[in-house]
Every structure is written in structure tokens, then in C-alpha cells.
Chains A and B, each alone.
Chain A
Amino acid sequence: MKFSTPGSTQESELKAGLSDYNLDILSRKRAGLIWRLIFQASTIVGIIALMILILNIINSAYGYTALKAKVDPDTLAVEGVPLEEQNHGQLVAVLQSHISGPAYKKLDNEKPFSERSEADVRALVIARVVRLQVEKTWNLWDSLSKSGEINTEVARDYPDAELRFTSWLNSDFINRPQTSEPVTAGIRTAIYGSLWTILFTVLVAFPIGVGAAIYLEEYATDTWINRLIQTNINNLAGVPSIVYGILGLAIFVRALEPLTSGQIFGIVDPTTANGRTVLSAGLTLGILVLPLIIINAQEAIRAVPVSLRRASYGIGATKWQTTWSHVLPNSIPGILTGTILAISRAIGETAPLVVVGASTAISFDPASPFSKFTTLPIQIYQWTSRPQDEFRALAAAAILVLLMLLLTLNAAAILLRNRYSGRF
């Protein structure tokens, strides 16, 4: 069959001859090789940067510490049982006999001793009775490379101090509540705070975000108002997070205080601080990550092939049946990817939570949506802003915990995603 219509005189001019081609495969391949090297180099740069970051954190989180005790722990042994092995009752007795009556009363009022765990009481004994104090810390690199010098330095400058190799990241650190003493400080409170906050973030942002994405992709017609909404969502994803903090403060903490403090449910949490609760934080972060989830979910929904929709409509399925049985199952992997990104973002947010009113010093785990809270990044931020080295070591250990928490949550989401995408 002829391609041209009769009368097209330029046919011969349009036709390409062999001489018009320059089949220089070698140089094309060379160009490809150069690009490949560039991409490889940028990947390596990224990996190196990440490794330096992690090594730097590990470097601060481990190392020698010179510790001095106000009261020698050995003198606290009860009937030959050392402090580390004493049970709850013995620990309370030790505490009672070593601190003043009013101080003991005050602690008991904050939370009765019978409700405190053994680890908590032991931490209290160490903080209030033994009063271990950090004289000096060294980072991992120095500890490994200059241990001799460190030993002589301690012997010379801190004669009553004990030199110990400390892993700031240890099970006690994870299990203990926050205190003001670096030796007994823990991040359990902050871990629970982060988990509670993320829970509400996801509970709010996931259904609303996916719902909005379904509406925008499947139902919304191309009118100016829908286009305006779409543009707004795209821009909201780039708004600085502090702005969301201000929004959260105005709406959730102030305007919706009866709701976020639990008043309208008749809940009076003694720790509640005027709506500065886990719930407010979760809602604020939920709004913050909402555009992220919407945009990713829209992308995923849009990627569902049109032939699949046609197949469904072609046998008389309604829009909702098509969306529910075909569009959503096929976009779930993409939607979950967006959710992973959203969780990663939310778990590391600090500024909006400072504005919403995260507590600086609480030693009790959040127990309900209406509890006061602190989160890991807030805790890290506070520790890094302290001048003493030991707090920097604590911050490094907390960063490691935050990274692990992030990896765990993401791994869970990835497993979920693979389960859905691997079905067929």
C-alpha cells in the first residue's frame, strides 16, 4: 500500500537515504557509559553521606564515661543483696530511708509507689540516692584509640570517679522514663508519645487522604473549583511544617479544647494540659501529612490502567463497584508507599509539636489520647540543646532509637504492601 497521496511531489525529498544516517554505535554506547558512571557516582556519594551520618551518631552514642557517685552503691546493699538485685519493696525502703520525708511524699503523690515498676523505682534510687554524676565523656573513636591516655587523665583529674565503657543505647535507656539526670534518663515516655501520635496521625490521615484521592480521581469533574482544590493540595504539601503547628495550636489545642482534652467525654486526666494532648499532636501531624497521602494515592489511582476500568464498566459495574474491586486493590501498593513516606515525615517532625505544646519534662507514659506527651524528636532536640557532652551522647542514642522505630514501622508497611501487590 502506498503511503503518500497522489500529487505529492516532494516524495523523493522526504525519503531518507543511507548516507543520511550516522550509525556510530560505539560513541552512543560511550555516552551511555558516561551517564552510567555519573549515576553510579551519585549513588555512592549518597551512601557515603548516609554512612558518615550513622557513624557520627554511633561515635557519640558509645564511649568511656567517668562517673562519680555521691553515695557509694555498695553501702545501699540490704542484707547483702546489692542494689541491682533488690526487689520492689527493698528499693522503696532504700529510697524512703535516704531522702527527706516531704520529698518522698511528693513522689508518692505524683504516682503511688505501688504503681511504679521496679525499674522505675531503681532509676529513682540511682537518681535521688546514689546520684551518679558524669564527670566527663569520651566518644567511641577516642575511647578506642586513646584508652591509655583516658585512663591516666581520669586517674589524675577525677580521682574518685570510676571509668566505665558506656553504651548510652541500652535496654535501661529504652525502658526508663525521662529524668533530668543523664545517667538515669530514658526515652520510654518519648517512644510511647511518638507511637501514640503516629497512631492518631495515621488514623486521621489515611482514610481522609485515600477518600479525598478517590473523590478527586474518580468522581470530581473538571470544574474550576475542583482544579482550585487540586492546586491547593499540591501547594499544601510544600507549606513549612511550623505553619501546621500554628494551625494545630489554633484549632485543636484552643478551639477544640473540650474535644482534644477529653472533657466532652467526661474524662479528666490529671496530666492534661489544656488540650496539649497526644490527640492534638496526632491531628496536627495528620493534617500535615494529608497532602502527601492524597497526592501519592492519586498518583497510584491514576496508574490503574484504563483497560481495567473499561473491563469492569463493560459488564455493567457501577463506579463504586469498579473503584472498590479493581481500582483500589490495584493502587494499594502505591497508596501504602505514600503512607510510608507520610509516617516517615510525621515521626521526625519537631517544630509543629513544639508549637502545639509538647511537654518538656514528663516522666509518665501517655496513657490515653488525652495525655500530655513528648516525642522522640522533641526529646532529641532538648538534649542536643544542652551544653554538657553527656546529653549529646543521650541524644545520639535517642536518634538511633528513632531510626530503628522508623525502620520498624516502614518494614511493617512494606510487608503489608508486598502482601497486596504479590497477590497476582
Chain B
Amino acid sequence: MQQNIETTEKPELVIETRNLNIFYNDFRAVSNVNMSVKRHRITAIIGPSGCGKTTLLRSFNRMNELVPGSHAEGEVIFDGQNLYDPMVDPVEVRYRIGMVFQIANPFPKSIYENIAWGARIHGYRGRMDGLVESCLRQAALWDEVKDKLNQSGLALSGGQQQRLCIARALAVQPEVILMDEPASALDPIATLKIEELIQELKKNYTIVIVTHNMQQAARVSDYTAMMMLSDAQRAGTVIEYNETNIIFTRPQDKRTEDYVTGRFG
């Protein structure tokens, strides 16, 4: 697994979707998505509520499968392989593509265990104390919790819990981290902390982030995918995908322009 930063001019593709459709039973939630995620870049997914952002994000590491009745059609290419190929093991996919959820969900275990557990189940044999510290440092949480590593992860504040979840995701050294509105429940200062953190993580990881916050998308992301319900099918789709500054300054689609300038609704 590549951990060193590549300094190529044109960033290499990590994830690419081809005609991706996602269903909940018969209901098509996401239709015909073609987009890509580039290595060591931050890709934002924006769009109105209910347009399928979470659904699309979860399809990148096959977390959708945990929802009974959901299935995907089309391809998600990761590392040259279709994730939905029957030969692919979802456990390995989720090991290489980690996830941080919309609502912080630490394990009801100690702060230390929250991070150590993931490493342990993947057979980590190095120094656990060092790993825990480095993950907590990367997640900008170390100074706040270093004296109470044996306390429950649930005894932290909401923002701290979310950073703990990020640290937990880092502990298994994924290549890609999917973040579903990681700052949606946080105040501006905590949000800023998470944003700085994401910028920092970009050096070592590829990040896909769903956000409702236009400024946030503009501030942190390199690429942006704009999702919207397509009128014909009432299913969400990516209507525009481009570099973030283009999406926010010269969008091609009228709907994107309305949305990012706040005139949508």
C-alpha cells in the first residue's frame, strides 16, 4: 500500500465509478454516477438533503451492503479492480477504505481501546502505545486526552468523539478515508479544527467528504461533485463534477450555480 506522496503533475485516480446505480429494494436512490477520486486530494460531495450523498459515499467501501435490501449496479473501480466483483471481499475493501460517520460513534470502550482494537484485529504487531499516540496526534486529539486514555470514549464531547472516530479510522492505515458530514454537529471552532485536520491528513490519505456547508467545501476540497435529484427519475445523480474553484466560480450547470450561491430552494 502506497504511503509516500506522489508528486506527479496529474493526480492519479484512486476510485472511479462507472454508471453506478444504487437501490434500496426497488427504490433507486442514486442513478448513473460517473465520477472519480484522486490520490492525496480532497473530494467533496455536496447537494441538497436526500439527494443520495450518503448513499453514494457508502457505496465506495461497500457499507451500503449492511442495509438490508440495498444493492448496487455498475462499477466502482478501486486500484484497478471493480469493488463489486464477486471475488472482492468487503472486509478488505473496508480495511483499505475507511469511514467516518455523520454521527460520531466511538466504541463503548476506553479511548485507548477505540484505537487499538482496529489495529489488533488486522494483526498489528508493532508498538501499540506508539500507534495510539500517533493516531491521536494526527487527529489533533492527543493533548486533550493523553491523561485519560483509559476513560470511556463516550465520555468525550461531541467534537472530541468525532476526532476519536477519525483517529480510529487512521489506526488501520487506510488509503482512502470517507467522511460523511464529519462536522455537521459541531460548533464553528470544532469544525475549524476538523477542517485543519482534514487538510493535514491529505498529505498521507485520500479523502472524500460529504458536506452541507458550502464554505467548508470551498475551503477544504480540491474537487467537488454536485449532486441533485434528477427531475425525471426522482433519483440522485452527480450533475457536475470538477475542480472546486471551477464549481464555485464558473459552474457549467445553472442548478449548481443556484445551489452554491444559495439561491436554490
Residues of A at under 8 Å CB distance from B?
1-2, 222, 305-318, 321, 325-326, 330, 424
With an 8 A cutoff between CB atoms, is B219 at the interface?
Answer: no
With an 8 A cutoff between CB atoms, is B101 at the interface?
Answer: yes
Q: What is the chain A residue whose CB lies nearest that of B172?
A: A315
Chain A residues within an 8 Å CB radius of B152 = 424
Q: Is the CB of B94 within 8 A of A313?
A: yes
Q: Is the CB of B122 within 8 A of A313?
A: no
Q: Is the CB of A316 within 8 A of B172?
A: yes
Chain A residues within an 8 Å CB radius of B121 = 315-318, 321, 325
Q: Is the CB of A314 within 8 A of B108?
A: no
- What's the A-B contact tally at a CB cutoff of 8 Å? 70
- Can you list 25 A-B contacts with CB-CB less than 8 angstroms, sorted by A residue number? A2-B265, A307-B101, A310-B99, A311-B106, A311-B165, A311-B168, A312-B107, A314-B61, A314-B99, A314-B101, A315-B94, A315-B121, A315-B168, A315-B172, A316-B91, A316-B92, A316-B93, A316-B121, A318-B91, A318-B121, A321-B121, A326-B107, A424-B108, A424-B152, A424-B154
- A301 to chain B: closest CB distance in Å? 15
Q: Is the CB of B108 within 8 A of A330?
A: yes
With an 8 A cutoff between CB atoms, is B139 at the interface?
Answer: no
Chain A residues within an 8 Å CB radius of B172 = 315-316
Query: With A315-B168, A321-B121 known to touch, is A310 a contact of B105 (CB < 8 Å)?
Result: yes
- CB-contact partner of A316 in B68, B108, B122, B265, under 8 A: B122
Given contacts A2-B265, A315-B95, A330-B108, 10 further A-B contacts (CB under 8 A): A310-B63, A310-B101, A314-B63, A315-B118, A316-B94, A316-B121, A316-B122, A317-B91, A326-B107, A424-B110
Chain B residues within an 8 Å CB radius of A325 = 117, 121
Chain A residues within an 8 Å CB radius of B72 = none
Chain B residues within an 8 Å CB radius of A424 = 108-110, 152, 154
Interface size in chain B (residues, C-beta < 8 A): 32
Chain A residues within an 8 Å CB radius of B154 = 424
With an 8 A cutoff between CB atoms, is B169 at the interface?
Answer: yes
What 7 A-B pairs come out closest when comparing CB atoms?
A: A316-B95, A424-B152, A314-B99, A307-B105, A315-B118, A316-B94, A1-B265
Residues of B at under 8 Å CB distance from A?
61, 63, 66, 68, 91-96, 98-99, 101, 103, 105-110, 117-118, 121-122, 152, 154, 165, 168-169, 171-172, 265
Q: Is the CB of A315 within 8 A of B98?
A: yes
Q: Is the CB of A313 within 8 A of B63?
A: yes
Bound Cα distance A316, B169 (Å): 10
Q: What is the chain A residue whose CB lies nearest that of B65?
A: A313
Q: Is the CB of A309 within 8 A of B66?
A: yes
Chain B residues within an 8 Å CB radius of A2 = 265
Q: Is the CB of A308 within 8 A of B118?
A: no
Q: Is the CB of A314 within 8 A of B169?
A: yes
Chain A residues within an 8 Å CB radius of B68 = 222
Bound Cα distance A424, B154 (Å): 8
Bound Cα distance A1, B48 (Å): 12
Chain A residues within an 8 Å CB radius of B101 = 307, 310-311, 314
Q: Is the CB of A308 within 8 A of B122?
A: no
Chain A residues within an 8 Å CB radius of B92 = 316
Chain A residues within an 8 Å CB radius of B110 = 424
- A326 to chain B: closest CB distance in Å? 7
Chain A residues within an 8 Å CB radius of B168 = 311, 315
- CB-contact partner of A308 in B96, B98, B99, B105, under 8 A: B105
Chain A residues within an 8 Å CB radius of B117 = 325
Chain B residues within an 8 Å CB radius of A306 = 66
Bound Cα distance A318, B121 (Å): 9
Chain B residues within an 8 Å CB radius of A316 = 91-96, 98, 118, 121-122, 172
Chain A residues within an 8 Å CB radius of B93 = 316
Bound Cα distance A307, B98 (Å): 15
Q: What is the chain A residue whose CB lies nearest that of B110?
A: A424
Bound Cα distance A1, B259 (Å): 13
Chain B residues within an 8 Å CB radius of A305 = 105
Q: Is the CB of B91 within 8 A of A311?
A: no
Q: Is the CB of A311 within 8 A of B105?
A: yes
Q: Is the CB of B107 within 8 A of A308?
A: yes
Chain A residues within an 8 Å CB radius of B103 = 307
Q: What is the chain A residue whose CB lies nearest that of B115?
A: A315
Bound Cα distance A222, B265 (Å): 41
- B235 to chain A: closest CB distance in Å? 18
Bound Cα distance A312, B63 (Å): 11
- A176 to chain B: closest CB distance in Å? 50
Q: Is the CB of B171 within 8 A of A315?
A: yes
Bound Cα distance A307, B105 (Å): 6
Bound Cα distance A353, B68 (Å): 44
Bound Cα distance A326, B117 (Å): 11
Q: What is the chain B residue whose CB lies nearest that of A326?
A: B107
Chain B residues within an 8 Å CB radius of A315 = 94-95, 98-99, 118, 121, 168-169, 171-172
Bound Cα distance A19, B144 (Å): 53
- A221 to chain B: closest CB distance in Å? 9
- B249 to chain A: closest CB distance in Å? 25
Bound Cα distance A311, B171 (Å): 13
Bound Cα distance A306, B118 (Å): 18
- A300 to chain B: closest CB distance in Å? 15
- A314 to chain B: closest CB distance in Å? 4
Chain B residues within an 8 Å CB radius of A1 = 265
Q: What is the chain A residue whose CB lies nearest that of B100?
A: A314
Bound Cα distance A313, B61 (Å): 10
